[in-house]
Structure formats: C-alpha cells, structure tokens
A and B are shown apart, each in its own frame.
Chain A
Amino acid sequence: MKGMSLIVKTITNIMIGFIFLYGVYIILHGHLTPGGGFAGGVIVAGVFVLRYLAFGGSKAGEKKSSITASVFESVGALLFVIIALLGLLIAGVFFFNFLPKGTPLYLLSAGIIPFCNIAIGIKVGAGLFSIFLALAAFKYIMED
C-alpha cells in the first residue's frame, strides 16, 4: 500500500506517541475509570493502523508485521488464561483474585484486575491490527 502526503506523515509523527500513551493510560486505569483492556487495546491498535495508512507498507513489511501481531496476540491471550489458572493453583478457584486488593481508587489496587487488563490490552491491540491487515492486505499474507 502507498503512503499519504507529507502533511499527513508529519502530523502522524507528532501525534502517534501521544495516542499510544493515551491507549496505555486507558488500559492501566481500567479498574478506576471507564475503559479498560478492550477500549485501550482498540486505541493502541489504532496507532498501528494510523502508522500503516500514513506511511504505507511493503509486501515484506506486511508479512513481518502480521507475524509479530499474531505472536503478541497469542502472548496476550496466554497471559490472561495463565492469570486465571494461577488463581486455580494458589487458591483452588479459577479466576481467584489472589493479590492484595489495596486501597480503592489507587492505581495499585484491585488485585489481579490491572494485570488482566494489560493482558487483554495486548491481545486486543495485536488482534485488531491483524484483523486490519487481514482485510487490507490479505492477498500477500494468506499466500503462505
């Protein structure tokens, strides 16, 4: 896919970090404010989609990013299930909140929920970006 004009590229260069930071903020504050792993993950995926649309991508680059995205997707999902299984191992209950709960309304609180949010954020960010790649560049990616 070809990239877009110089104006778009410059603006994207400036904005991309802030958008990514905002996505991370939404993920990390999932247990305190509206949002969470899914919403933040969508914003993080948006960063990669924006970068791809603005700068374009080569055939090889698309293949490489689809492989990276699929690895991250698996890692996120595995993290989530492993957190749930840790509850089973430690306390005998699947999805048991085995960490200390902390004070409500502080960043380090709510036990395992922030970690679940991080896992979901990785999974959704990588998953949505691979859906985008699968729809936008499916001819190259599905060949092998």
Chain B
Amino acid sequence: MTIFVFCIALFLIGLYAIVTKRNLIKIIIGFALIEYSVNLLFALIGFRRGALAPIITKVHSAHNFVDPIPQALVLTAIVIALGTTAVMLAIALRIYERYKTFDIAKIKKLKG
C-alpha cells in the first residue's frame, strides 16, 4: 500500500509542477518526475523480498526471481519517455528561438 501512496504522491508533485510552473523547461522537468514515479511504481510492483534478479545463469536456474515483466515494461516506458522528452526539448528550443523567452505567460499568440 505504501508504494502506491508514495508513487502517486510523486506523480502529483510532477503534475503540480506542470500545472503551476511558467517556465517551459520546468514543465518538462515535471514530466520527467511523472515518468520517474510511474517507472518506480512498476519496478516496486515486481519486487519480492529476498528474491534474485531474473537472470538465468549456470548457478541460478529459474527459481525465486522477482517479476521480470514490470522491468521489461519500465525499459519500454523509458524509451518512450526519452522520445517524448527529446521532442519536447526540441520544440521548447524552437519556441525560444521564435519568442526569445521560456515564460509561457509571454508566449500567447493563440487565443485560448
């Protein structure tokens, strides 16, 4: 239960940053926090106390491993997050080039 509460708290902190911050880069950092919290939640869901890393070697065959599926999901989610963050940063850079500012209060050519 604790892992849910803390991970969702981290998620909400990231959401708070996205909603209240006015700097584009800080908004992107908010997204990084959210992504981190979800990945952490995935890794913790798969965790079992005293279990081994899920790697088959000559010594350890398949027994008493932590759940490997969330780890695979985290890897995929990290790759997707990488792509999103790269696109966000590229667009933020372009916006800076056009408006000469990262402040969203000054970036409002669109009405609503």
Residues of chain A touching chain B, judged by Cβ–Cβ distance below 8 Å, are: 33-34, 38, 104-105, 131, 134-135, 138-139
Contacts and interface: CB of A to CB of B under 8 A. Distances in A.
A131 B86 contact: yes
A104 B86 CA distance: 37
A104 B38 CA distance: 33
B55 A135 contact: no
20 contacts: A33-B55, A34-B53, A34-B55, A38-B75, A38-B79, A104-B56, A105-B56, A105-B57, A105-B58, A131-B86, A134-B86, A134-B90, A135-B86, A135-B89, A135-B90, A135-B93, A138-B90, A138-B93, A138-B94, A139-B97
A5 to B, nearest CB: 27
Contacts of B79: 38
Interface string B85-98: 01001100110010
Contacts of A104: 56
A134 B88 CA distance: 12
Contacts, number: 20
A85 B90 CA distance: 33
Nearest to B78: A38
- Grouping DSSP codes into helix (H, G, I), strand (E, B) and loop, the B interface class, with mixed when no group exceeds half, is helix
Interface residues of B, number: 13
Contacts of A34: 53, 55
Contacts of B57: 105
Nearest to A105: B58
Contacts of B56: 104-105
Nearest to B86: A131
A134 B79 CA distance: 18
A60 B5 CA distance: 52
A104 B57 CA distance: 9
B65 to A, nearest CB: 13
B57 to A, nearest CB: 7
Contacts of A105: 56-58
A122 B53 CA distance: 27
Given A134-B86, A134-B90, A139-B97, 15 more contacts: A33-B55, A34-B53, A34-B55, A38-B75, A38-B79, A104-B56, A105-B56, A105-B57, A105-B58, A131-B86, A135-B86, A135-B89, A135-B93, A138-B93, A138-B94
